[in-house]
Chain A
């Protein structure tokens, strides 16, 4: 088992390195000059040069690439004496320690350093630390919710095969799959936060349907102009609904078909013959065997949600990785783009390891 995880980790590292290299060179090949973009047309060449130096843009590309890799790697090589060197180990920047001195230089163990944003001069780790909680929470809740409801729908549909219940659930899930997320997001925002924001009087009665009182936009935290930031979970409702619709539809259909498949097999008939209750048969025997395709679909979905749901974050103004990355690409803020991409690649690698472990648990045959 440990060997399996280690080999996966090694493979993951290789993937990360590939991603870093590819993105680094792709972005640096683009013709724009970040230093000039920062200061504008009126600035003198002297100022532009000063910025190039500050951002290491005066170095040749391969040199910058190695500096970047060195900054990124937890095991790294720095100068320990000459503070004017670009490879000088700055304590407060890298927060690590020396493990092997080699003359003027030394090998250090440190946290990966992702540099500072070109645009705002803010540390990239800080920016990512700021946006990740929103993205992670949204991803976990939407997939978790979709999984709970989707499994339920799938089981109900399978057990009531070819009845009106099955048909209507299938119809709804087809509808859910058909809606593109940018359209669904706007629709949900419009219905939830505009049409149904205030109470709606019900026709033919005096009663009113209480309004949602939801805002069109908002993040995990809202800000009061005097007391500052506070947790505002109701902002999560609309983006969550939007994000849940498609995985919910997929999970419902996958669970239904996979469960029907399993329910037709011999061991289920045996279980019935033994006199087990339907509930026990479905939950204990059939569902566990039917879950493999669901896990595959959900894990891929979850990983891509960790990369940020760009459209949904955009429409609901939800502060998350997708939106941050989108802005950074638009503004060609290379360090933020690199940091974001590395984070996403890291999440994918971790999830793929996790999924392999779950497969093993679901289906012992895979473990051997």
Chain B
């Protein structure tokens, strides 16, 4: 008996290779961050958005060049005063089948469904992190959203707000069916029903999440074939990036996103191009991302410490910026997969400004230090710089660069939530953060410098206040034509660069490494993944 057991075990191990269904037309990828919910009302993080974008649809969406295109709304018009939006909806959009519908296969989307979905987002009882997106709606729980018939939806704004249509592309604005949401309550997170190209199949939390093709999806390609082409999507949840990368090379995953130190130097040349040995094995895509990584200076009330006092002087802040060689930093630490931020805080993807700001100039930095009373940094207190562990290399680089100009930096590594909390409370003199726009509009970046957004109730962590910026922001929202709006934002960008409440370090880029088996891959500056038009060779 004793000797049989190991053999039985081995037999069992090998016996598991039974015939499993064919997965050759399934798209595989891995997610290092855990997906906590599939309810679009809680889709705050990119990894959740990627998943919900396959399951749900909204009124409008972006194409790869950030042009608004119709989705469930066939067409729309904006009233002359810019306050009423009328959407004309398709009548052939079906929810994924569910036994909770009176007709499980044939539940069509109506304008009422959108009214329900939007009111749900603002309902305080749900506590959706996206409730703020409808701040501009006039009376959201009653007359703000109206459905006079099944295919007409009217949205009333308090005041004209130009980026409103962009907001409607966010995952929060996807349509959900009332019957299913109310039946599952909080467990809608793991029982999602939407109208998207893929429908939820199963989710073994922490292991795999699987979606299957929605066979009665409303959209077809130009030759009339119903989308999507793929049979399904499988998302694994391996935390270790090096392992994910190995699996990608082995062909177990069809795509990985972003640059990680674990594989950056193997895949990319220092110039940021794909290494020659991978040219036939991997397709590399990149495009500017609407995200800026920056150093913020706390300039608020709570500035008793001596370091804080020194940093109140704009000359010191500017001297710090001028001492950092962003180009070199980006080349050596990021293999040029990001762009050195020399054009102000708003990334060039959203605001093209040819003018360069605060470029590397150690001599000018010296002059500013002398002018401020700290020649060669003498007498300047050591400045603590806080960031998460992922950015330790960046901080060390800056520490070295600043030391050359006599500015001493101490590095303070904090955990993500602790950093967020401490910077919101204003207890960190200098902190590294990034701002990823909620929606692709320069307006979203200017929000970081407005008084109404002082942290912790908004993203203005620096507590920077400037009357001119407030005035320019108000002006940008007064129904101006596009070009004049952008002029306002360009002026704000200039003001920020001259006052230096933040030092923009680099503009991020979307970088995708895709298996050559995948056809028609598209990337966009909001880093959204849309798999409905993707094909896989098998």
Contacts and interface: CB of A to CB of B under 8 A. Distances in A.
Given A32-B417, A32-B421, A317 B127 contact: no
A268 B446 CA distance: 86
A37 B421 contact: yes
B240 A50 contact: no
Interface stretch (B92-100, B137-145, B151-159, B454-462): B454-462
B418 A30 contact: yes
A39 B21 contact: no
Contacts of B36: 117, 119-121
A42 B204 contact: no
Interface string B119-156: 00000110111011001000000000000000000000
A224 B20 contact: yes
Interface stretch (B78-86, B206-214, B353-361, B405-413): B206-214
A72 interface: no
Contacts of B190: 122
Interface stretch (A103-111, A232-240, A298-306, A353-361): A232-240
B13 A226 contact: no
A330 B416 contact: yes
Given A41-B459, A43-B132, A217-B247, A223 B208 contact: yes
Interface string A166-201: 000000000000000000001001000110010000
A223 B204 contact: yes
Contacts of A223: 202, 204, 207-208, 210, 234
A237 to B, nearest CB: 7
Nearest to B44: A40
Give chain A's interface residue range (CB within 8 Å of chain B).
35 or more
B424 interface: yes
A10 interface: no
Nearest to B232: A225
B239 A219 contact: no
B23 A224 contact: yes
Nearest to A326: B239
B4 interface: no
A261 interface: no
A230 interface: yes
Given A33-B421, A37-B417, A227-B20, A42 B239 contact: no
Contacts of A130: 205-206
Interface in A311-332: 314-317, 319, 323-324, 327, 330-332
A325 to B, nearest CB: 12
Interface string A197-237: 10000000000000000011101010111111111111001
Interface in B456-473: 456-459
A127 B208 CA distance: 15
Contact of A47 (B131, B210, B425): B131
Interface string B8-32: 0000111010101101001000000
B438 interface: yes
A120 B37 contact: yes
Given A36-B456, A217-B236, A223-B234, 18 more contacts: A31-B425, A33-B421, A37-B420, A42-B459, A44-B131, A50-B125, A51-B127, A122-B190, A197-B250, A221-B207, A223-B208, A225-B231, A230-B18, A233-B12, A234-B16, A237-B13, A317-B236, A330-B415
28 contacts: A37-B417, A39-B127, A41-B455, A41-B456, A42-B129, A44-B135, A44-B457, A117-B36, A119-B36, A120-B189, A121-B36, A217-B243, A219-B207, A221-B204, A223-B204, A224-B23, A225-B21, A225-B232, A226-B21, A226-B23, A228-B202, A228-B210, A233-B12, A233-B13, A314-B239, A319-B207, A323-B206, A330-B415
- The 5 closest A-B CB pairs, nearest first, are A39-B129, A223-B208, A226-B21, A120-B36, A317-B238
